[in-house]
Amino acid sequence: MRTLYFDCFAGASGDMILGALVGAGCDAAVLIENLAALGVRGYNVQFTTVNRSGLSATRALVDAPHEHKHRHLKDIQEIINDSKLNEKVKARACAIFRRLAEAEARVHNEPVERIHFHEVGALDAIVDVVGACIGFDLLGIDRFVSSALHVGSGMVEMAHGRFPIPPPAVAELLKDAPVYSSEITGELVTPTGAAIISAVCEEYGAIPRMKIRATGYGAGFREYDNFPNALRIIIGEEDEGALDERLLMIETNVDDMSPQILGFVMERAFALGALDCYFTSVQMKKNRPGALVSILCRPSDRERLTEMLFAETTTLGVRAFEVERRALERETVAVETRFGTIDLKVARLDNFRVKAMPEFEQCRAAAERAGVSLLEVEEAAKEAYMKLKVKR
């Protein structure tokens, strides 16, 4: 499992996250190329290397003209959903902006639909959020964890006046997250940074046990003496043979839908990040046969999967509960057979291989090409793997 850890010793902002992703190995040119799929113009993105108290960091500069209009949530969602971005990036970006809107709605005691964004609805903030989601996708991140967030201290000027740090929206976004302040003055955690981290992170705390693969530093725009104003991200692979995870099971019962629609619901669930999705036949009230829809997911994917169920099914209510999953470490091993190259998914526990299963679609295609049975191809793949295992 590929894990990203946010080390927020100097807070976090949208551009700091974007810079840190490039610093950790996300190809800047590819990221900018993917951003073009957003379908908006009038902005420019540059990445430069800067010094922050002796620390080399990547500065993300999003240059966009000042806009006098203030967008609502639906305006931003339309921009994202009408784009050519992939579904996972769209869903995550929309979830982040919905989280922002909900926080603002609670602060101002207004319905979400009436909230209009100020700075966070501007084009540069949209690019920051969508760019971060693209970076997560390009780097193949499966899990997000964050340290406690250093929020800074003092006062900050906002559209509605002068407010203490952390400002109301940031405090609302970071509810239940560990935060702290120090003698460093200034707003270290911005609403955009707080929304991204709180929307994707499943947990907060120390760096999880993992093998570090990359680190990146995203520079903030302020410079302090003897204090590196930068966000560090650490990307690693979980190295335990069997990993215990706290996940969510989302369920709903339906008895008035076509099975064809249920098939589409499963496709959408997996496209939005579900770890598993299945249907169970159940007998519902008035003796109606129905289906129990079960979706296993990470906590960070809860909102978008719940919204999908409300949008794509006839259900009026969705329930969720926490489950614990233990998953074996796994790898993909390619073997050569007389039917061609076949991949096997190999599961291990404490470096002892316990299961080796050939990829079904590859075996089926090979069987059709060769005019033999599927079982014959699967057996050939398993035999080739056993020979390879002996050589190792």
Nearest to 240 by CA among 122, 159, 102, 351: 351
**pTM given for the model:** 0.65
Q: Burial, 253: exposed, middle or buried (Cβ in 10 Å; 0-12, 13-18, 19+)? A: middle
328 vs 320, residue with greater confidence: 320
Q: Burial, 335: exposed, middle or buried (Cβ in 10 Å; 0-12, 13-18, 19+)? A: buried
Pair 127, 73 in one domain: yes
Pair 193, 334 in one domain: no
- Domain assignment present for 322: no
Q: How many CB atoms lie within 10 A of CB 202?
A: 18
**End-of-domain residue from the set 272, 292, 317:** 317
Q: What is the pLDDT of residues 37-91, one digit of tens each?
A: 999 888 999 999 999 999 999 999 998 877 656 788 899 999 999 999 999 999 9
- Domain assignment present for 191: yes
Q: How many CB atoms lie within 10 A of CB 337?
A: 20
The span from the CA of 135 to the CA of 379, in Å, is 40
- Domain assignment present for 69: yes
Residue 121 has pLDDT above 90, yes or no: no
How sure is the predictor about 324, in pLDDT bands with cuts at 50, 70 and 90? confident
Pair 196, 299 in one domain: no
Pair 76, 157 in one domain: yes
**End-of-domain residue from the set 237, 271, 293:** 237
Task: Provide the domain count of the chain.
Answer: 3
- Domain assignment present for 170: yes
Question: Structural domain of residue 365, as residue ranges?
Answer: 328-391
324 vs 350, residue with greater confidence: 324
What confidence score (pLDDT) does residue 241 get? Answer: 56
How sure is the predictor about 162, in pLDDT bands with cuts at 50, 70 and 90? confident
Contacts of 130 (CB under 8 A, 6+ apart): 35, 38, 80, 85, 89, 93
Q: What is the pLDDT of residues 242-277, one digit of tens each?
A: 567 789 999 999 998 888 899 999 999 999 999 999
DSSP category for residue 207: P
Which one-letter amino acid corresponds to residue 163?
A: F
Pair 233, 250 in one domain: no
**End-of-domain residue from the set 186, 209, 237:** 237
Pair 173, 261 in one domain: no
- Domain assignment present for 323: no
